[in-house]
A and B are shown apart, each in its own frame.
Chain A
Amino acid sequence: MVESGRTNPFAAYDPGRFFCELTAGRPDDRGAAALLRERIAAIGLDGLRARARAAERDLIDLGITFTVYSEASAIDRILPFDCIPRLITASEWTRIEAGVRQRVAALNAFLHDVYHERRILKEGVVPAELVLGNANYRPEMEDFPVRFGTYVHICGTDLVRDEKGEFRVLEDNARTPSGVSYVVENRHLMLRAFPDLMEGLRLRPVDDYGMRLRAAMVEIAPAGVDAPQVVLLSPGIYNSAYFEHVFLAREMGVPLVEGADLVVDNERVFMRTTAGLWPVHTIYRRIGDDFLDPAVFRPESLIGVPGLIDAWRRGNVALANAVGTGVADDKAVYAYMPRIIRFYLGEDAILPNVETHICRETEGLAYTLAHLADLVVKPVGESGGYGITIGPRASAGELAKARAALLANPANWISQPVVSLSVGPTLTEEGLRPRHLDLRPFTVTGRESWVLPGGLSRVALKEGSLIVNSSQGGGSKDTWVLEEPAP
């Protein structure tokens, strides 16, 4: 049924058994959710649709797009934007912030350990072969010191919220997490198109991400450099995240360079300018480890910089994130994160994991095979939501395929129960409907960690879908973190 513009858009809204981010009772929101619902209702469906169309037009004109590659073509798409914001209360945020900080601290301690003493492997907390045999383990990193022990300077922690409203960590993104540009752009878009929705609400600002990031990049530069030159290294305009690279370079006020703009001479890195070679001290790289330096990793990489790793190992340039962080955010290591946190920090995880079965272990494989139809099966070392089989939604043929893949190479897989992701009211053709959400807060770490209030709320726009990835039909929402009440 298509609702007309005049009825209350929440009249037919039913989140069912899922936790709803806008209608579930949350005593500590001080009436913000109810106020927001009232304002949304006052604008009405027609008004929402008209403004949403204008907002999407804006995104296209501004070129706030990502590129989807299929076999033969590359199409610029906007990340679909849903104009109904997601609300996070001050106390919820306090918990999330503490949880992701703890997680990032543990990831850095873990990386330092596995590339140095390997205590955690020697004590058998994490199986050694899981780390040392991991494709993302980089022997080049062994015994190599990084400033402040920070390997993961930018971390995106994917959170989901279960039926009871509890936040759980679904995944760590410790390599080159993306999406932060949408957090800031979505807020700008909401300020332009829906100023009346936020009027009088005290929200935590998201504007200073670029400044914080730049400050961290300056902190990690080689010691003794007066005014470190920071650059952002991008694969270039054909990369699907190019818009974000531009955004971050602009927000930091630093040049966006491509591999060919950099040269290494005498183990120092320079960029090619109209005035000659200009020294570079910190590189925020948005290029995977494999492609960074053809002299060390993939020799066929055209987007990298020959000699970069040498210059780095000499301590003449800093790289963010450090090389070899992929061994920590691997889906197989993820299962051990609660134990990793306890091992290094002596604390329980503030944000629990989603229960995870490791198929490289006999028990995990047996359990997964026995409950395939009830589990989500994920390949380790993949990103972007590719290769996932959602048991309860899969056909008999798809299940058989997943089973065969599991048996062929069990170590490549983990499985998890289907988490009942929370929902948020989302503007659809039919009216406001519940759609599943996740949340990716971003943590920036130089000497210390800072967490951007909120993060990227991704929304699965298809009815019932749990896959929020932008490459697979996901969109995003503005994420509003309410300020602490004034004391």
Chain B
Amino acid sequence: MTAAPLLARYAEGMFWMARYVERVENLARLIDVTQSFESPGREAEAWYALVRINADEENFARRCGAVSPQAVTRFYLDDTTNPTSVPAAMEAARTNARTLRPLISTEMWKQVNQFHREVMETAPDDLEGDALSRLCARLKEGIQAHTGITEGTLFRDQGWHFYALGRLVERADQTTRLLDIKYHLLVPRGREERRLAELTQWGGLLRAAAGYHAFRRVAAATFDAADVVGFLLADRSFPRSVLLSLHEIEHHLTTLRIRYGLHGTADALERAWETRAAIEGRSAERIIADGLHEFLDRVQRDLIVLAGSIGTAFFRDWRPFAEADSP
């Protein structure tokens, strides 16, 4: 039985649905950690870091004006008109799911549909005080339910690989942003205060990435910044590390090439290798010494090119008539 190849529009929808869903989870993680970075009297600065790592400065200024914790949480959690918000990402995920309904499992669709409704019902009260952390937990759990249902029910044909590619590209990108938040955070001047504050911040970062416990298992008893950077960027076993994401991206591209004969994957594979080489080719200490922020910026740009390469080959700039089979 030979199944027809995947409709290009479905491949694109799978890729983007996965990206949007992953984005929701990561935004929830970022917001959760930002809350723990508030220091008395300077709350706004911690929250503005979030706006900066998402490159949302202009967008935020236009919609919200002055920076306050409330303005930033509303901007990301309760503003459907802001295209970078959680509700907007969830809306986009659901629209993609809707176009993909002929392909995805009924259970996937049902959960996306229900969770979308829940996200759209976010009320101002959910952003206040301790409710905010609970909201972030619910968002993470909703996406984790999606991921679990997908893992357990989605048919593993081409669509699955495009879904995985979307998720991994987004996850790698989001991990670089999470790491970058450290660049924007302030630390106290005194030597000992600085050491302690940094410890707290790195710990918070690891917790936000669900990597604190794993990190403790692999890191030395006393650790420094380079250990954390090395872990989030280049650990081979941590599910949210950039390196592991790149490895998996290569795996899915290779499967598409070998099992489904999709030779358009060649360029994207090369991009993934290059980015991986850049991470593997230098130590975390070296990266920090050369400028962590600049390095993360470069990885983010590489990922954009990688996604564009997948899109060009399979979604958008698709060339009609080039390889037409004759019936």
Contact = CB atoms under 8 A, between A and B. Distances in A.
Contact of A276 (B98, B110, B158, B325): B325
Nearest to B112: A63
Contact of B323 (A227, A257, A263, A276): A276
Residue in B2, B7, B95 whose Cβ sees the most chain A Cβ within 10 Å: B7
A229 B318 contact: no
A278 B5 contact: yes
Contacts of B260: 274-275
Interface residues of B, number: 35
Interface in A223-262: 225, 227, 229, 236-237, 242, 246, 249-250, 255-258, 260-261
Residue in A236, A255, A268, A274 whose Cβ sees the most chain B Cβ within 10 Å: A274
Residues of A contacting B: mostly: mixed
Contacts of A275: 5-6, 260-262, 323
A156 B259 CA distance: 43
A364 interface: no
B106 interface: yes
Interface in A37-60: 60
A62 B5 contact: no
Contact of B320 (A63, A229, A236, A263): A263
Nearest to B107: A62
Nearest to B97: A63
A277 B323 contact: yes
Contacts of A277: 320-321, 323-325
A249 B102 CA distance: 6
B63 interface: no
A270 interface: yes
Contact of A274 (B6, B101, B102, B325): B6
A36 B93 CA distance: 44
A273 B323 CA distance: 11
B216 interface: no
A165 interface: no
Nearest to A58: B110
Interface residues of A, number: 33
B7 A271 contact: yes
A317 to B, nearest CB: 10
Contacts of A261: 7-9
B109 interface: yes
B283 interface: no
A274 B8 contact: yes
Given A63-B98, A237-B99, A255-B4, A276 B113 contact: no
Contacts of A265: 320-321, 324
Contact of A62 (B2, B98, B106, B318): B106
B39 interface: no
Contacts of B322: 276
A237 B96 CA distance: 10
B15 to A, nearest CB: 11
A277 B8 CA distance: 10
A60 B10 CA distance: 24
A273 B6 CA distance: 5
Contacts of B324: 265, 270, 276-277
B16 interface: no
B11 to A, nearest CB: 5
A255 B264 CA distance: 22
B317 to A, nearest CB: 12
Contacts of B114: 61
A101 B7 CA distance: 36
Given A225-B327, A237-B99, A272 B318 contact: yes
B314 interface: yes
A256 B100 CA distance: 9
Given A62-B113, A63-B113, A273 B7 contact: yes
A274 B98 contact: no
Given A249-B102, A261-B7, A274 B262 contact: yes
A480 B321 CA distance: 50
Interface string B84-122: 000000000001001101100010011001100000000
A279 interface: yes
A270 B162 CA distance: 22
A273 B102 contact: no
Contacts of A279: 325, 327
Interface of A: 60-63, 225, 227, 229, 236-237, 242, 246, 249-250, 255-258, 260-261, 263, 265, 268, 270-279, 281
6 tightest A-B contacts by CB? Answer: A279-B327, A276-B323, A273-B5, A275-B5, A277-B324, A256-B102
19 contacts: A61-B113, A61-B114, A237-B99, A242-B98, A249-B102, A256-B102, A261-B8, A263-B320, A271-B7, A272-B320, A274-B8, A274-B162, A274-B256, A274-B314, A275-B260, A275-B262, A275-B323, A278-B4, A278-B325
Given A268-B327, A273-B8, 15 more contacts: A62-B109, A63-B109, A225-B327, A237-B95, A246-B102, A250-B101, A261-B7, A271-B4, A272-B7, A272-B8, A272-B320, A274-B11, A276-B323, A276-B324, A278-B5
Interface of B: 2, 4-11, 95, 98-99, 101-102, 106, 109-110, 113-114, 158, 162, 256, 260-262, 264, 314, 318, 320-325, 327
